[in-house]
Amino acid sequence: MTTIKQSWAEPYKIKMVELLKMTTPEQRNAALKEAGYNTFLLKSEDVYIDLLTDSGTSAMSDRQWAGMMLGDEAYAGSRNFYHLEQVVQEVYGYKYLIPTHQGRGAENILSKILIKEGDIIPGNMYFTTTRLHQELAGGTFEDIIIDEAHDAENEFPFKGNIDMNKLEALIQKYGAGKIPYVSMATSVNMAGGQPISMQNLKELRALTSKHGIKVIHDMTRVAENAYFIQQKEAGYANKSIKEIVKEINSYTDGATMSAKKDALVNIGGFLAVNDWDVFEEARNMVVVYEGLHTYGGLAGRDMEAMAIGITESVNDDHIRARVGQVIYLGEKMMEYGIPIVLPIGGHGIFVDAKKFLPHISQDQFPAQTLAAEIYLDSGVRTMERGIVSAGRKANGENYYPKLELVRFTIPRRVYTQAHMDVIAESVARVYQRRNEIKGMKMVYEPKYLRFFQALFEKI
């Protein structure tokens, strides 16, 4: 008897739709030229399928929308804050909560509290805003991710892991007193959404405890990381996503969270810590930079939607469908021979622009070029994660990352499998004419985080 495959389906049904604008090649060419060939500067109304980011772009549930009607907009002591605090403690396990307008608000406050001039902050690959806040506070980021993470074709299942030898070498070189914390991210974004294993976290906790160093968790996509632990790490197959998430957090001292990803809201974030002294200082600083400590730049309704979204985010059926859609798109691209980062990560597909456009040097921005070409073909908006995102060193020289990628980030609960087919077919068409594509030059570069606002011209 033939075994029939058991497919998964989305654990929801559609109640409302948002109509999309279909554009012509001529319209897309004009829109992209006006945007300086930077997909961040396109108007959303000119985009057909928007894969720029999964940050704040997810679809909220009926329960979240209903929760917004319960918004307590009191300036101080909103009941929605206390509901959010309770959910963070129950689901994530951290003691103290400081809400912020989004994740980078938490990064700013944390960096100002913990980092002194000359400090070293090791981490499992940089993220743009995280590293910038660390540098603005006087610190220097040091990459301690395993070498496999910089190899797009390496299929090691936990490419987000920290190399303990690299961390130990930094401790020996600078001394533990110069390392305020290890910046540990789950589902490492710049590596392609690659997870860190629970075993690696246990080893990290043991080493940092030995030297009195904190571990601060960038938990933006922690539920997706938990899914890969459940599926790939021995001993976790029968544990729920919620149980795994809480165990991950138990090996850390605090976390920054952009709730616009995993927590399924359009705005919001927080800093969560276990140390009273850090919390007390953060509670004071949030008043300066964000708002009172019981709203931190958010409306009561936003905090209520976040509390409900956190609960939904650790539902096993939800996360299986969320990552499953990403895997579906990745496998479709592989069928067309498109080079992508392997293994497939949790929040998007990362196309290897160096292999896609090997004739374009990194100084001519192959990933930026490819993102532009995909938009011209179909109206699908993606984003560059390569030399433009990496930015410049303190001495003005460009960083030259080994990975030069185009990120196809899938919003949660937004698009259908048919959209995934359209996306893969568009990339395949561009791949067929890849040898005709020329690179670009940068004609305007902002001071910070240049990938957001830089302007380009075709060569």
Of the candidates 214, 261, 354, 381, the residue annotated as catalytic is 261
User: Is residue 159 within 8 Å of 119, Cβ to Cβ?
Assistant: no
Q: What pLDDT does residue 127 have?
A: 87
Q: Is 54 a catalytic residue?
A: no
pLDDT of residue 7 exceeding 80, the answer is no
- Assign 2 a pLDDT band (cuts: 50, 70, 90): confident
Give Cα separations from 16 to 218, 262, 387 (angstroms): 33, 22, 39
Residue 69: strand, helix, or coil: coil
Q: Helices 241-250 and 222-232 meet at what angle, rounded to 10?
A: 110
> What's residue 179's pLDDT?
98
Which one of the listed residues 96, 126, 127, 295 is annotated catalytic?
127
Please choose, from the candidates 386, 328, 380, 309, the residue with its C-alpha nearest in 3D space to the C-alpha of residue 355: 386
Selected catalytic residue, list 21, 75, 392, 416: 75
**List 46, 163, 218, 253, catalytic entry:** 218
Known catalytic residue: 407?
no
Stretch 346-357: mean pLDDT, rounded? 97
Residue closest to 399 by CA, chosen among 418, 385, 380: 385
- What are the φ/ψ torsions at residue 109 (nearest 5 degrees)? -65, -45
- Mind listing the pLDDT tens digit for each residue in 173-208? 999 999 999 999 999 998 999 999 999 999 999 999
Share the mean pLDDT of the chain: 96
Q: Are 432 and 337 contacting, i.e. CB atoms less than 8 angstroms apart?
A: no
Mean local confidence (pLDDT), 291-312 = 97
Which pLDDT band holds residue 4 (cuts at 50, 70, 90)? confident
What average pLDDT does the segment 63-88 reach? 97
pLDDT at 234 over 90: yes
Q: What is the pLDDT of residue 164?
A: 98
Torsion of CA 320, 325, 329, 335, to 10 degrees: 60
d(CA 37, CA 184): 33
pLDDT at 1 over 90: no
Annotated catalytic, 218? yes
Interval 435-458: pLDDT, tens: 999 999 999 999 999 999 999 999
DSSP 60: P
Q: Is 23 one of the catalytic residues?
A: no
Assess contact for 403 and 147: CB atoms under 8 A: no
pLDDT tens by residue, 356-399:
999 999 999 999 999 999 999 999 999 999 999 999 988 999 99
Mean pLDDT (whole number) for 27-56: 97
pLDDT digits (tens, 9 = 90+) for 318-345: 999 999 999 999 999 999 999 999 999 9
Look at residue 9 and tell me whether its pLDDT is greater than 90.
no
Q: What was the pLDDT predicted at 441?
A: 96
Tell me if residue 314 falls in helix, strand or coil: coil
Sign, CA torsion 176/179/184/188? negative
C-alpha–C-alpha distance, residues 229 and 346, integer Å: 12
What pLDDT was estimated at residue 126?
83
In percent, the amount of the chain with pLDDT more than 90 equals 95
Output phi, psi for 210, to 5 deg: -60, -35
| Active site annotation includes 385 | yes
How sure is the predictor about 3, in pLDDT bands with cuts at 50, 70 and 90? confident
Among residues 131, 322, 385, 407, the one annotated as catalytic is 385
| Mean pLDDT across 222-243 | 98
Cut 0.75: pTM above it: yes
452 is catalytic: no
**Residues 383, 371 contacting (CB under 8 angstroms):** yes
Q: What band does 261 get if pLDDT is binned at 50, 70 and 90? A: very high
Question: The tokens 């002194």 sit on which residue?
Answer: 116
Structure tokens at 32: 């992209």
Q: Each residue of 342-374: b (16+ CB within 10 Å) or e?
A: bbbbbbbbbbbbbebbeebebebbbbbbbbbbb
User: Is 81 assigned a catalytic role?
Assistant: no
Q: Which of 100, 128, 256, 382 is catalytic?
A: 128
